[in-house]
Structure 1
Amino acid sequence: MPSEFLQLVGKRIAVFGVANRKSVAWHVAEELVEAGAEVLLVVRSPERRNSVAKLAKDLSIFVCDVEFPDQIEALVSELRQQYDQLDGIVHSIAFGDYSEGPKPFHETNKEQFLRAFDISCFSLVAISNALKDFLSPQASVVTISISTTRMASENYGFMAPVKAALDSSLAFLAKSFSKFSEVRFNAVAPGLLKTSASAGIPGYVDSYLFAERATLRGRAVQTAEVAAAVAFLLSPKSSGINAQRLVIDAGMEVNYFDQRLIAGFLGTDLPGN
C-alpha cells in the first residue's frame, strides 16, 4: 500500500519533460506512483512517446512540444476529453542550444537565447494559462530550476539568466492565480545532477565533480532526492508554501571555503597532515 503521509493517493498529476530513465521528470513520476498518485506523462514527440512507453508501462503518455501553442491547445483538449481535472503539474522542461560550444556570455546569439527562454521559461506560463480552468482549486505546480542563478558558470552561459526568469515568474503566476484559486507555484532548485540533458553542456563533468566535493557530505545530490522534494511540494502537506524555491544542494552553497577545497586548489596538505 502507498504511504498516506503525502496525501497524494488518487491525485492526478501531469508530469512534463520525461526523456529517459535519467530524467528528473521520470524520477518524479516514479516517486508519485509510489505515493499513490495517478500520473500522466507529457513528452515532446511521438518518437519520445515510443521510447518512454518502454519505461512507463501502464502510465498514460501524451505528446506536446511546448514550443508550439497549437500543440498546447491540442493537449488541453485531449486531457479534457478524458479527465475532469488535474491536481498538479510538474514542469521539468529545459532546452539550451550549445552546438556552437562555450563562448563568452556577451556573444550569446539572440536566437539561442530567445528559444531557450521560450522553451525553458515561458512554457511554464503558457501551460499554466492553458490549464488554469482544468486545475483543481488547490492544485500545485512545481518547476525544476537550479540551485543558484547568481554564480556565473561560463559553460552554463545563457541558461542561468533564463532560469532566473523562471524563478521570478513563480511570484507573478502565484499572484495571478490567487485572484480565482489557491493554486500554488514553487520550484525545486537542485545542485548539479547526473542526467542525459546535463551531459550536453560543455565541461559539465568537471563542474559536477567539483560540486560533489563542495557538498558538506562529499557526495553529489541524487536525482531521487530532487524527486522527493517535488512530491512534497505537490502534496497538501506543503500547502503553506507558495512562490518559493526549495534548494537541494547538500549544503554546497555554504561550503566553498572548505579547507579541503582550498588545499586542493593550492596543491597543499591540510594542517597536521
Structure 2
Amino acid sequence: MKDFLEMAGKRYVVFGLANKKSIAAVIAANLLEQGAEVMLVVHSEKRKKAANALFPGSPVFFCDVEEEEQIARVRDEIAEWIEAASGGRVDGLVHSIAYANYSDGIKPFHETKRRDFLQAATISCFSLISIANHFKNLLDIDGSVVTVSISTTRMAAVNYGYMAPIKAALDSSLCFLAKSFADFSRIRFNAVAPSLLKTSSSAGIPGYIDSYLFAEKAMLRKRALTTQEVADTAVFLLSRRSSGITCQTVVVDGGMSVNYFDRDIVNKAIS
C-alpha cells in the first residue's frame, strides 16, 4: 500500500518542545513514525536533556527566540549538521512557541503591562517571522511552515487575556509570509488552531482547568480534544498532500465553535 503522506526521508525542524506532553513533542513523534528525520530546537540546555531522552535518535539544539542572534546561530548549527550528515534542505518547519507572563494573576485586559505584551508578542508571534527569514535558504522550494494558534481569537476569555490579540497577529502573519516568500519559492505557511488542550504550558494559565472542562462539554462529541488530534493535523499540513493549502488557520475544536447553546449547558446555566 502506498504511503499516503510520503514523508519518509523528509527532514523537519521542530521548534518548541518542552516535555512529552507538548504539541511539539507529539508532532515530532508523528513525523518520526512516518519515516521522516526530525531536528528539535528547545529553549534551554535543561530542555535539551529532556528532548534527548525523549528522542535519542534526533539531534537537539537550543535557542532563546527572544534573541534574534540565537535564531541565526541555531540556523547555522543546523545547516552545518545537515551538511555533515547528507546535505540537502529542510522540508518543513514547526513553530510551536508561545509565552505570556501570568505571574501577577488574572487582570482586566486594559491593565495589560506594555512589557508583558511586547515580550509575549516577540516570543509568540515575531519569532515565527524571524525563524522564517533566517531559515529561508535552508527550506526546500516546496517546503511547509506550520505554527500553532488557537481556535478563536474573538472569544474574550478573561484568563487568556492579551495572548488572543497576539495569536490574531500570528494568524495574520501567515498570509504576509506566504506572499513575500512567493517571490522566490512555493513555501506554504499555515496554522493548526486547537481549542483547549491538556498540556503542561496550559496549566500555567489561571482558571484553565475550569475552561478546559467547559470546552469538553461544549464539544459535539462531549469528549475533550487530544494533543494527538492536533498533531495529526499539523503533520498533514507539513506534508505535500496539503500542497493546495496556504495562509490558512485550520481549526481543530471538535465542533465546539458551533455548540455554545448546547442543551445541557443552557439547562445548567438557567437552573
TM-score range, shorter chain: over 0.9
Residue in structure 1 matched with residue 101 of structure 2 by the alignment: 97
What whole-Å deviation, never above 9, does each CA across 1:69-109 have from its counterpart, x for those lacking one? 11111111111112131100000000000001000000000
Secondary structure in structure 1 of the residue aligned to 2:127: helix
* Structure 2: runs of 5 or more not aligned: 83-87
Residue in structure 1 matched with residue 6 of structure 2 by the alignment: 7
Q: In the alignment, does 2:124 pair up with 1:124?
A: no
Residue in structure 1 matched with residue 41 of structure 2 by the alignment: 42
Secondary structure in structure 1 of the residue aligned to 2:25: helix
Residue in structure 2 matched with residue 154 of structure 1 by the alignment: 158
- Partners in 1 of 2:24 and 2:78 — Cα distance? 19
- Partners in 1 of 2:104 and 2:255 — Cα distance? 33
What whole-Å deviation, never above 9, does each CA across 1:111-168 have from its counterpart, x for those lacking one? 0000000000000000000001110000000000000000000000000000000000
- Partners in 1 of 2:270 and 2:31 — Cα distance? 45
- Partners in 2 of 1:246 and 1:208 — Cα distance? 20
Number of equivalences: 266
Candidates 245, 252, 259, aligned match of 1:248: 252
Secondary structure in structure 1 of the residue aligned to 2:260: coil
* Greater Cα shift, 79-88 or 251-260: 79-88
- Partners in 2 of 1:36 and 1:231 — Cα distance? 12
Secondary structure in structure 2 of the residue aligned to 1:164: helix
- Partners in 2 of 1:244 and 1:95 — Cα distance? 22
- Partners in 2 of 1:174 and 1:70 — Cα distance? 23
Return the TM-score normalized by structure 2: 0.97
Residue in structure 1 matched with residue 90 of structure 2 by the alignment: 86
- Partners in 1 of 2:266 and 2:157 — Cα distance? 19
- Partners in 1 of 2:81 and 2:44 — Cα distance? 20
Residue in structure 2 matched with residue 270 of structure 1 by the alignment: none
Candidates 204, 209, 213, aligned match of 2:217: 213
- Partners in 2 of 1:35 and 1:5 — Cα distance? 10
Secondary structure in structure 2 of the residue aligned to 1:153: coil
Counterpart code for 2:205: I
CA drift of 1:206 comes to 0.2
* Greater Cα shift, 47-56 or 230-239: 47-56
Secondary structure in structure 1 of the residue aligned to 2:103: coil
- Partners in 1 of 2:108 and 2:150 — Cα distance? 20
- Partners in 1 of 2:53 and 2:240 — Cα distance? 31
Q: In the alignment, does 2:39 pair up with 1:71?
A: no
CA drift of 1:18 comes to 0.4
Counterpart code for 1:243: C
- Partners in 1 of 2:247 and 2:176 — Cα distance? 8
* Structure 1: runs of 5 or more not aligned: 268-273
Q: In the alignment, does 2:167 pair up with 1:163?
A: yes
- Partners in 2 of 1:142 and 1:6 — Cα distance? 16
Secondary structure in structure 2 of the residue aligned to 1:185: strand
Counterpart code for 1:149: T
Secondary structure in structure 2 of the residue aligned to 1:89: strand
- Partners in 2 of 1:160 and 1:257 — Cα distance? 23
* Greater Cα shift, 64-73 or 93-102: 64-73
CA drift of 1:259 comes to 0.8
What whole-Å deviation, never above 9, does each CA across 1:201-224 have from its counterpart, x for those lacking one? 000000000000000000011000
CA drift of 1:50 comes to 1.0
- Partners in 1 of 2:249 and 2:160 — Cα distance? 20
CA drift of 1:8 comes to 0.7
Residue in structure 2 matched with residue 197 of structure 1 by the alignment: 201
